[in-house]
Structure 1
Amino acid sequence: MAAFRFKEFSIEQDQCAMKVGTDGVLLGAWAGIDHEPDSILDIGAGTGIIALMLAQRSHAETIDALELDNAAYEQCVGNFEASPWADRLFCYHAALLEFAQEMDEPYDLIVCNPPFYSESVSSGNTQRDQARQNDSMPFTHLLTVAAHFLTDTGRFCMIAPFKEEKQLLKLGTSTGLYPTRICRVRGNDQSPIKRSLLEFGKQTVDVETTELTIEVERHQYTTAYKQLTQDFYLKM
């Protein structure tokens, strides 16, 4: 499988269950860096795409990633080492709760494109099923760990199915994380909202709520999506 090439880096993904997709690119481009994070954590990094996008966008000195799957971990490390920002990127091979028990450095920005499927699904590929099912990273664990590691002025950004948004906002509040921005994403003008981009902080603020439509028609992208991703995709 050929590498997926972006403007400033490439992603090798032949060993990863979950390939480069719109969700990861959306989160990597949307995650807030206005507070100029000095340290970033990408939970469940996969290929490393989100951490690499944030390395391109930010001046953070420390960008750590966490990946449980063996093959994905090795590939993430390779993608980091091949990038222009290898000296700022590091990937840990550990489960989320194991990492939380062993590490204590806080982060200014935490991002996660988590497993989405709360119900049991089977594709016949154990590695892919683990990457897709949130049994390996329940939302309750994710938000608790994010709250633990986040600095007082930090931000936690994630992408999730729209149908999970209310549950995640409720879980966030119970762990001391409050929504600051919400962007609801639909494929085109006629399609229902499918994804929610969520940003949390430790203070309650007025929530900035927006919507994003990706395509005008098949492979013809909206101006808003082009503006969001133009620093990354080769043909944007």
Structure 2
Amino acid sequence: MKPFTFKQFQIQQSKDVFRVGTDGVLLGALADVEHASNVLEVGTGTGLISLMLAQRNEKALFLGLDINEEAVAVTELNFENSPFHTRLKNKFQDFKTLETKERFDLIVSNPPYFEESGSDKDKIARQTVELNFIQLISKASLLLSQDGIFSVIIPVEAGDVFISVGKENGLFLNRRINIKGIENSKTKRLVLEFSSKEKEINESDFIIEKSPRKYSDQYLELTKEFHVFK
């Protein structure tokens, strides 16, 4: 597969690893990484999100986890070839069984979100086979620092359940970004950010395209430091 080239780094891809997609780009550009010192990404795939966050925060240290050995290999290659390689680590590790005394200022994930089906296509990356929302949220709640943020991108249909499970685990919704594919369309994705502190929710809308195959000014502005637009 052809590599995906960004302004400051390149993403090597594999047919056996979930490819670079808009969801990952949006989370990498929108997650609140500004004040983080140590960041954990659950399910690195190609390493895209951590690389984008490392570009946005020049001091933070990053740890990525994935249970797909091919994904770990691809991520390690992409990390090593990036200008941020000294701050990036990646492990072949199941998040559910991760044991560490470290607490993270930001935990970020583009989690699996389809229920298990008969398809093998992107089975681990795109289905709730190995890690469901309850497991993800409960484990994240244990590993966040006192002022830490848990940031995810999920389908809008899963939003209410995700928010409810978060609250059950002591994580309160602080920020909600409604992602729309095109102007005047329904919300299709949510970027949600949680912390252990209950506060007024910051809610906003984000539109990817102003018309078919034409990015919105909002998207172009958000990704201008990353994308190489022709």
TM-score by length of 1: 0.94
- Unaligned regions of 5+ residues in structure 1, if any? none
Looking at structure 1, the residues matched to 203 and 193 of structure 2 have their Cα atoms a distance apart, in angstroms, of 10
State the partner residue of 2:101: 104
Superposed structure 1 runs of 4+ greater than 6 Å apart: none
Q: How does 1:1-236 map to 2 (within 5 A)?
A: 1-34=1-34, 36-99=35-98, 102-118=99-115, 120-125=116-121, 128-235=122-229
- Segment of structure 1 superposing worse, 190-199 or 177-186: 190-199
1:62 deviates by: 1.5
Contact preservation (8 Å) 2:181, 2:208: yes
- Unaligned regions of 5+ residues in structure 2, if any? none
Looking at structure 1, the residues matched to 59 and 130 of structure 2 have their Cα atoms a distance apart, in angstroms, of 28
Contact preservation (8 Å) 1:16, 1:75: no
Q: Aligned pairs, how many?
A: 230
Match of 1:136, SS state, is coil
1:124 deviates by: 3.9
Contact preservation (8 Å) 2:27, 2:152: yes
The residue type equivalent to 1:113 in the other structure is N
CA deviation profile, 1:29-73 (whole Å, cap 9, x unmatched): 000124x11100000010000000011000334100001001011
Contact preservation (8 Å) 2:17, 2:46: no
The residue type equivalent to 1:66 in the other structure is L
Q: Calculate percent identity across the aligned residue pairs.
A: 34
TM-score by length of 2: 0.96
Looking at structure 1, the residues matched to 17 and 95 of structure 2 have their Cα atoms a distance apart, in angstroms, of 18
Please report the RMSD computed on the Cα atoms of aligned residues, expressed in angstroms. 1.3
CA deviation profile, 1:112-146 (whole Å, cap 9, x unmatched): 0000112x223344xx1121111211101101111
